[in-house]
Amino acid sequence: MTSSKDDLSARLDDAPAADDNAVASAPAVLLRGIEPEMAALFDEWLTRDGLRVLLQADAHERLGLILIDLPFPRQNGAPRLRQLAQAWPGVPVLVLSSTFLPGVAAQGDVAHQLGAAAVLASPVARDTLRAAVAKLLHRSCSV
């Protein structure tokens, strides 16, 4: 199945709202720089955990986490992360990159050097992503 950003946006807009209060109060995860197919997959995984997944947000949107894919984080990651920190101060950022080795500690030196809350090697397994997001949001996650 292929999907575009517009398809995901339409699906998110058309999703039935069982409990508007629960949806409105659910932590929001903003996806940045994520390919449309991966965004659709992350949306499926994270909404099952009761999170709201956003593709766009203005600086007034209350976010719980920003998830960003940076192809070359050591070359251009710091300026992009500073921009996010200015727009949403205090919101943790989880950086995905195919340049990270799978054994890199999620909240270790690489994350600290970039100014991110955590980093994960991409592609990322469902359980790994869900656990990292839950930890950063201080939530329990049954993986």
3-state SS, one letter per residue, for the chain:
CCCCHHHHHHHHHHCCCCCHHHHHHCCEEEEECCCHHHHHHHHHHHHCCCCEEECCCCCCCCCCEEEEECCCHHHHHHHHHHHHHHHCCCCCEEEEECCCCCCCCCCCHHHHHHCCCEEEECCCCHHHHHHHHHHHCCCCCCC
At residue 18, the pLDDT reads 44
| 44-84 pLDDT tens trace | 999 999 999 999 998 888 999 999 999 888 888 888 999 99
| 82-93 pLDDT tens trace | 999 999 999 999
| 28-40 pLDDT tens trace | 999 999 999 999 9
The predicted model scores a pTM of 0.81
Task: Report the mean per-residue pLDDT for the chain.
Answer: 84
Q: Is the pLDDT of residue 138 over 50?
A: yes
Of residues 24 and 114, more confidently modeled = 114
